[in-house]
Amino acid sequence: MRLKAQYLFVVIAVAVVAVYFVVRSLFGAAEPAQAKTAPVSTLPSVQAKVIPETIRQYDVVLRGRTESARTVVVRSETAGVVAQAPAREGSAVKTGDVLCRLAVDARQASLDQAKASYRSMQLQQQANVELAAKGYRSQTQVLDGQSKLDAAQAGVRQAEIALAQVNIRAPFAGVFDHRDAEIGTYLSPGQPCGTMIELNPLLVVGDVPETSAAKLKLGAPATAKLVSGQKLVGRIRYVAQDADPQTRTYHLEVAVPNPRLDIRSGLSAEVHIGAGSGPAHLVPVSALVLDSAGRQGVRYAMEGDRVAFAPVTIVEETPDGVWVTGLQGTVRLITVGQSYVADGQKVRVALAR
C-alpha cells in the first residue's frame, strides 16, 4: 500500500528527530569536559595618571569687597547758621581742613571782652602783690586776686574755643563723601555737617569659613583682584575671634595702600591669602569620589595593582584641576573607572599618556 505524500513527510521528520537524540546521547558526555576549559573572567580595567608630589604655597580664596578704613559723620559742636561750605562734596581733604563754617555772630565780641577782663585782672593782681610787699595787703587778698585772675584766663580760653568751634574741620585725611548742611542751614550741637571716609589705607573685607580660619595669621600677605582687573597687595590686619552665628564665618580685613585715593569703597574683589606651604598634588576634578562614609577623596593603584582610597582636602581650585592634601609621594591616580572599583580590589592598570 502506497503512503500519501503528507504522511511520508511526517515519517521522515520523526526519523530525523530520533537520529538527533541518539547522536546526542552518544556524544553528550564530552560537553562537560569542554566547559571546564572555558576562559576565566578578566580583571576590571582602569586608567591611571602618575601624579607627583609638589611643595605648594597654600592660598585661602574668598569673595570680598573694598571698604573705607573709617567712616565718620562730622557733627557741629555749637549752634549756628552755616555761613560757608569750603569743601566740595566728593573731594579729598587733609586733616584740619574746614568742611563747614558757621557764622561768628557775637563770639568774637565775647572773646574780646574776655581778653579785656583778663588784662584788667592782671593789673589788679600786680598791684595786690606790690601792696602786699609794703604791708598794705594781706596774703588772703593776694590769693583772692590770683583766683580772679585765673578765672579771667579761663574765660579767655573758653571764648577762644567757642570761636574756633564755628569751623567744623576734617578729623583725618580722606574724602568728604557726603554733605548734609548747605549754606544757610541752622545747625544745633550734634547735627551733621557731612560724612568723611578714609581710603588710605583701604580695606578689603570678607568672611572666612570656619575650615580656613585657623590657617590665617595677622600680617599674612594677601592679594585682591578687583572686578576691573586691578590687583591690590596688602596684609591681614584683623581676623575675628568670634564666628557669625548665622553663617559660621569669621570676618576678615586686609589693609592695602591707596595713596592716590583712586580706588573706591564697595568694589567686589577676589582675595587670595597666603596660608603657608606644604606638599600637595594637582588632581583632575573628575577624579574626586566619595567613599561609603561620605568622605571626599581619590582612588589610586598601589603596588600589586590593588585599589586604595585616600581622603583629601582641597586647598585651591585652578583651571588645570584642584590642589589637594592627603596623598603621599608620587601616586598612580585612577582617572577612569574610579567609581566602579572597590578598595583592595585587584585591577588592570593602563597609564594615561
Give tens-digit pLDDT for 302-327: 998 999 999 998 888 888 999 999 99
3-state SS of the chain? CCCCHHHHHHHHHHHHHHHHHHHHHHHHHHHHHHHHCCCCCCCCEEEEEEECCEEEEEEEEEEEEEEEEEEEEEECCCCEEEEECCCCCCEEECCCCEEEEECCCCHHHHHHHHHHHHHHHHHHHHHHHHHHHHCCCCHHHHHHHHHHHHHHHHHHHHHHHHHHCCEEECCCCEEEEEECCCCCCEECCCCEEEEEEEEEEEEEEEEEEHHHHCCCCCCCEEEEEECCCCEEEEEEEEECCCCCCCCCEEEEEEEECCCCCCCCCCCEEEEEEEEEEEEEEEECHHHCEECCCCCEEEEEECCCCEEEEEECEEEEEECCEEEEECCCCCEEEEEECHHHCCCCCECEEEECC
pLDDT-derived band at 31 (thresholds 50, 70, 90) equals very low
Check which CATH number belongs to the domain holding 286 and give it. 2.40.420.20
Q: What is the mean pLDDT of the chain?
A: 88
pLDDT for the residue 30: 46
Whether residue 270 sits in one domain with residue 220: yes
pLDDT for the residue 28: 52
C-alpha cell at 124: 589788679
Q: Examine residue 320 and state whether it is found in any structural domain, yes or no.
A: yes
What size, in residues, is the chain?
353
Whether residue 268 sits in one domain with residue 250: yes
pLDDT > 70: percent of the chain: 88
C-alpha cell at 123: 593789673
- List, for residues 34-71, the tens digit of each pLDDT value: 444 444 458 899 999 999 999 988 888 899 999 999 99
pLDDT for the residue 113: 95
Q: Examine residue 38 and state whether it is found in any structural domain, yes or no.
A: no
Last residue of a domain, one of 275, 302, 318: 275
Last residue of a domain, one of 215, 244, 275: 275
Indicate whether 7 pLDDT > 70.
no
Residue carrying C-alpha cell 561620605:
294
State how far the alpha carbon of 220 is from the alpha carbons of 195, 238, 259, 274, in Å: 32, 10, 21, 6
Whether residue 328 sits in one domain with residue 263: no
Which residues span the domain enclosing 318? 46-57+279-351
Q: Examine residue 121 and state whether it is found in any structural domain, yes or no.
A: no
Q: How many domains does the chain have?
A: 2
Q: Examine residue 202 and state whether it is found in any structural domain, yes or no.
A: yes
Whether residue 309 sits in one domain with residue 327: yes
Q: Examine residue 106 and state whether it is found in any structural domain, yes or no.
A: no
Whether residue 310 sits in one domain with residue 336: yes
Q: Examine residue 83 and state whether it is found in any structural domain, yes or no.
A: no
Q: Examine residue 86 and state whether it is found in any structural domain, yes or no.
A: no
Last residue of a domain, one of 248, 275, 302: 275
> Packing angle between helix 107-134 and helix 139-164, nearest 10 degrees?
160
pLDDT for the residue 6: 59
pLDDT-derived band at 1 (thresholds 50, 70, 90) equals very low
Whether residue 252 sits in one domain with residue 302: no
Which range has highest mean pLDDT (164-168, 215-219, 311-315)?
A: 164-168
Whether residue 298 sits in one domain with residue 260: no
Whether residue 236 sits in one domain with residue 258: yes
Whether residue 285 sits in one domain with residue 268: no
Whether residue 284 sits in one domain with residue 271: no
Provide the whole-model pTM: 0.66
Q: Picking from 30-44, 78-92, 221-235, which range would have the lowest pLDDT averaged per residue?
A: 30-44
Whether residue 345 sits in one domain with residue 284: yes
Whether residue 296 sits in one domain with residue 332: yes
- Taking residue 292's Cβ as centre, other Cβ atoms within 10 Å add up to 8
Q: Examine residue 220 and state whether it is found in any structural domain, yes or no.
A: yes
